[in-house]
Amino acid sequence: MNTAPELFPRSARVALPSEGEARPPRGGPAAAAGAMLEIGDLHVSYGQVDAVRGVSLKLDKGQIISVIGPNGAGKTTLLAAAMGLLPCKGTLRFEGEDLHGLDVEARVERGLCLVPEKRELFGELSVLDNLQLGAFSKRLRSDALKRRLQFVYDRFPRLAERRTQRADTLSGGERQMLAVGRALMSQPRLLMLDEPSLGLAPLIVRDILTIVRKLRDDGVSILLVEQNARAALESSDHGYVLETGEIALSGPSAQLESDPRVQATYLGGGTHDDD
Ligand code: ATP
């Protein structure tokens, strides 16, 4: 079964050992048939504070999953644990492979990437430099690097226009585009986005989420964490509601959108479009 990523079309690739070897799914055929990301009974604590308590969720290849919930629910903590930034207990598997014991770099090599809530760009560096840092691999040949850059510029033409501009002079929306673009430079198969809408105007949020949805056509699955429940549910296939570290509700996103509890707590009591 051909499970190579579609992020960069095969026709556009040269057979580079460093690129070709990095992407087969781990864990054999059973993994390819099962969930891409499997989180089971996950616990994450900060000392005495149990921030994530027994969370289970599943993401299949090609899906966009959203995790919504209020401030302090544990959303960022969940992503940080999945990325290897925090220790955790429970099941954590990516394409059938146990992620425990793999550091962040190894998880990026497997095809996971996190766009953190604070974007964490290098403000004094240019857009281009920030993107190049996202490529991660020091061994990447210049033609492969160029292809990755072109892939990002094709999806975010604004970044191409601003390639020489310092990151700290970009608008909020452009910074978010750069954060997503930088993550794409590592050729993720699963992109985890922490509050991409934070601090952005509704129209910009819509633009960014439209691009995120299109990434699925490029073979990127998405785990989207959001306080903006409406935008998240409109953009995802399946949603989870996280409250005080536990999954309170889950289901197909359209079903959650019409759930009275979700409407009352997260959608302002109605289903109208608010922008
Ligand atoms: P927000 O949307 O505000 O970012 P969140 O859902 O992402 O919230 P987390 O940031 O994951 O929530 O926080 C979950 C819980 O863990 C909160 O009670 C928070 O106070 C606590 N917490 C987060 N980071 C730390 C830390 N470094 N040390 C101690 N407690 C922390």
* pLDDT band with cut points at 50, 70 and 90 for residue 141: confident
Residue 227 Cα to chain centre, angstroms: 15
In order of their start, the domains of the chain are 35-111+188-269 (3.40.50.300), 121-187 (no CATH)
Q: Is the CB of 76 under 6 A from ligand 1?
A: yes
Please check whether residue 47 is in contact with residue 41, taking contact to mean a CB–CB distance below 8 angstroms: no
* pLDDT band with cut points at 50, 70 and 90 for residue 10: very low
The protein residue with its alpha carbon nearest to ligand 1, atom 1, reads 71
Neighbour-count burial of 71, counting CB atoms closer than 10 A to its CB (0-12 exposed, 13-18 middle, 19+ buried) = exposed
Q: Is the CB of 74 under 6 A from ligand 1?
A: yes
Strand 64-68 with 190-194, pairing: unpaired
User: 51 C-alpha vs ligand 1 centroid, how far in Å?
Assistant: 7
What span, in angstroms and rounded, lies between the C-alpha atoms of 272 and 263? 11
Please check whether residue 66 is in contact with residue 225, taking contact to mean a CB–CB distance below 8 angstroms: yes
pLDDT in tens, 150-174: 999 999 999 999 999 999 999 999 9
Residue with the bigger pLDDT between 139 and 115: it is 115
What span, in angstroms and rounded, lies between the C-alpha atoms of 150 and 55? 38
User: 96 C-alpha vs ligand 1 centroid, how far in Å?
Assistant: 28
64 HSE (CA, 13 A, CB side): 26
Strand partners, 98: 93
Nearest ligand 1 atom, CA 69: 6
Q: Is the CB of 49 under 6 A from ligand 1?
A: yes
pLDDT in tens, 165-217: 999 999 999 999 999 999 999 999 999 999 998 888 888 888 889 998 999 88
What span, in angstroms and rounded, lies between the C-alpha atoms of 255 and 227? 18
Q: What is the mean pLDDT of the chain?
A: 85
Q: What is the residue-wise DSSP string for 189-217?
A: SEEEEE-TTTT--HHHHHHHHHHHHHHGG
* pLDDT band with cut points at 50, 70 and 90 for residue 33: low
Predicted confidence at residue 269, as pLDDT, reads 61
> CA dist 153 to 16, 130, 177, Å?
22, 13, 10
Name 29's Cβ contacts closer than 8 Å, sequence gap at least 6.
1
Number of H helices, E strands in the chain: 12, 10
